[in-house]
Amino acid sequence: MRIIETTYRWGGTLVKRQSTTRIILHHAAAKTCTAQQIHSWHLANGWAGIGYHFFVRKDGSIYRGRPEDVLGAHAGSNNYDSIGVCFEGSFDKEQMPAVQRQAGAELVAYLKQKYGIRKVQKHSDVNATGCPGTHFPFDAIAYGREAEPSAPSVPAAAASDRKSGAASLLPVLRRGSAGGHVRAVQALLNGYGCDSGAVDGIFGGGTAGAVKRFQRAAGLAADGIVGRDTWGKLLGE
């Protein structure tokens, strides 16, 4: 397996990812495109650049996107511990070529072994989207086996995360909030060097203080509330 290194001009700061526990699979929703085109699309969204860590083309070639060890911008609050892999094509409308499927399976197997990953997910498993499409060969790529026919995926609730930005879909968090989204914010803040304390899913005084420090550094109003603008900065969008 060969990974093609690509040079990008980034439009923002890339932040180191603190943990790697899963892989999230996507399609480009475009019949033909390149990694550089995706980079330009994501820059146009106001993001730092291509949000995926790898891009697999229909001819089986694999391109590097974001550096493997930094936070991606591909799955909203699920970026903090995941590697994003995108496949050229629109798999609501077409079938994946065998050579692309094989390349994707080899890449996923390599990443699983390298990081000790057990969990592989579709974008639609973690966000309200139809990505990576009803014809995407998930089992073949994620586990090296052909899938049984399955029911169609739930249609996207939004037109596309790619156009609107995942930040617009995430909840507003403030002191007193709790749960998985708070844990994601805490992990992201710690990754930026704004120590929020334990990643425990409880939005207390320590987390509020860390949010304010991050907001001041990012040029935002330091109100200690994680709304759309703060989510966007945290996610590099």
At 209-237, the pLDDT tens digits run 999 999 998 889 999 999 989 988 887 76
Taking only the tens place, the pLDDT of each residue in 71-83 is 999 998 899 999 9
Residue 145: predicted pLDDT: 62
Strand-pairing partners, residue 33, are none
Distance CA 211, CA 216 (A): 9
Q: What angle do CA 122, 126, 129 make, to 5 degrees?
A: 75
CA dist., res. 171 & res. 225, Å (int): 11
Query: Tell me, what's the pLDDT at 217?
Result: 87
What pLDDT digit, counting tens, does each position of 35-46 carry? 999 999 999 988
pLDDT for the residue 201: 84
pLDDT at 186: 86
Q: Which of 92-96, 109-113, 119-123, 140-144 has the lowest mean pLDDT?
A: 140-144
The yes-or-no verdict on residue 149 having pLDDT over 80 is no
* Total-model pTM: 0.65
Range from 8-22, 133-147, 160-174, 196-210 carrying the lowest mean pLDDT: 160-174
- Which domains does the chain carry? 3-161 (3.40.80.10), 170-234 (1.10.101.10)
Average predicted confidence (pLDDT) for the chain: 87
